[in-house]
Structure 1
């Protein structure tokens, strides 16, 4: 399953996404964590120090494109590969548990979680680049990722509804919006819900920083059935955020139950690779017509391989081609 944590800046999405990654890994599940927030804090939340930061993917986009295109004849060079370019016959797919050059180059282990990151703004980016140029690496990885049964890719996304500035918002099986019991936070939920409706996005709300029954009633009144679970203050989580010793076993029972509830919701989500691929093609055509054809000087609609399909069986190294 591909999972996103989104929400207003400061809502606690990085903290909750890291707790969920740790929770999954502690249960023995393979986990890929992707830090796609402009504020790169997921590594620290997973217990890494600054010296252990992964190589930033956003600074090596050409290298990533060149690897993923493989010998796909529809993508003759990395120069005509854009963030929405879909896989086709000859493309390199990325099994989540595989040992491949991209995972070795950009991934690091964080206590059983494989972490990759876009990287933060550099001095060269300031004033001249948009952060979405870095997010292209995440979108390409998700387009080529093969996640098998009981394997999880968890993405800590940019704040607010910023994901809708790219096709990233459709790349997930389940999106969790972390929402504080405030009017600003529920406004982000309404915006996200309205944008997502057109694309049939599976969206659940995690109430965070919920201190009493009044907070929970406020959220339930404002977000309705989207509210999945509420999480209150936690001394062990505060210790984690302050860099003090932390272990999952220290968590309060209510928070461990909440993490179980989130996993149950993910596991109950239907994953349809055909829908995933169709959305990928639709967004690629939209981007091609809007800007990518002009930017590359090529007709990028020809990059869509009508005979390609994601493997349904657990044979992630081979795409299924039908003619």
Structure 2
């Protein structure tokens, strides 16, 4: 009976002298695993961010949704025994006579501010991209409205637009124009807060769009100039198309910020007079905290409508970016 033994795989290799030698079998390749200490280190770095998101984003959003689905009073808000009412608070908001004017004011306020902030910011970014003397100093001065606290900016505009002692009406008086009741007239209150918000938001658009202009190669402009393209043609054919990714994120962030503007409107007009400058942001505050009998549920429902609007526009932006990447 023959007993065979399986020998390890050895390959013959010729050395420098030409003699055949037997090479040792290759060592087995072992899969390298990440050390456990590194895994714990990765989780340790992620833990503060995750904790921050849960405490300051996820939990407040959950509480706001819960508020909008229950009938909360001051007592039940403290004790936490509010009955579940489903979508009743949303139905109350939609049936409220103030819903349509607040929706209209929110749309007008957001659209006008967004368009003018972007247009003025883009014009200033193109202007400062010429790199003339004092360009850096002037850009720094334009950042002042963005750096000031909102309460300071809103209070300053309230003083400037004061009907009796405001500097704007004083300037109009020198031109022979009568006083305008900027903050106390239903016809002008929304315009007043729009002007103030545009002034505050232009520096942000200027900074982001100016950074985008710096990434455009100057060789493209030089080639277009050699081909005889005018300044407008260079802007429309080169600058504007190449700024589309930066413009998209600028408009999205501006939209989210403008939807939730509360400080400026509340300090300047408190949503009045006669709710002529009330938006969803100020209306939500009035429902929840501006009355003797607070309506926490409807106030939270209005706030959730703002969250949904911002989320919808965010999803539209993400989908547009995916289509652009695939194309």
Do Structure 1 and Structure 2 share a fold, with TM-score over 0.5? no
Structure with more of its chain in helix, by fraction? 2
State which structure, 1 or 2, has the greater radius of gyration over its C-alpha atoms. 2
Structure with more of its chain in strand, by fraction? 1
Q: Which has the higher contact order (CA 8 A, sep 6+)?
A: 1
TM-score by length of 2: 0.25
TM-score by length of 1: 0.25
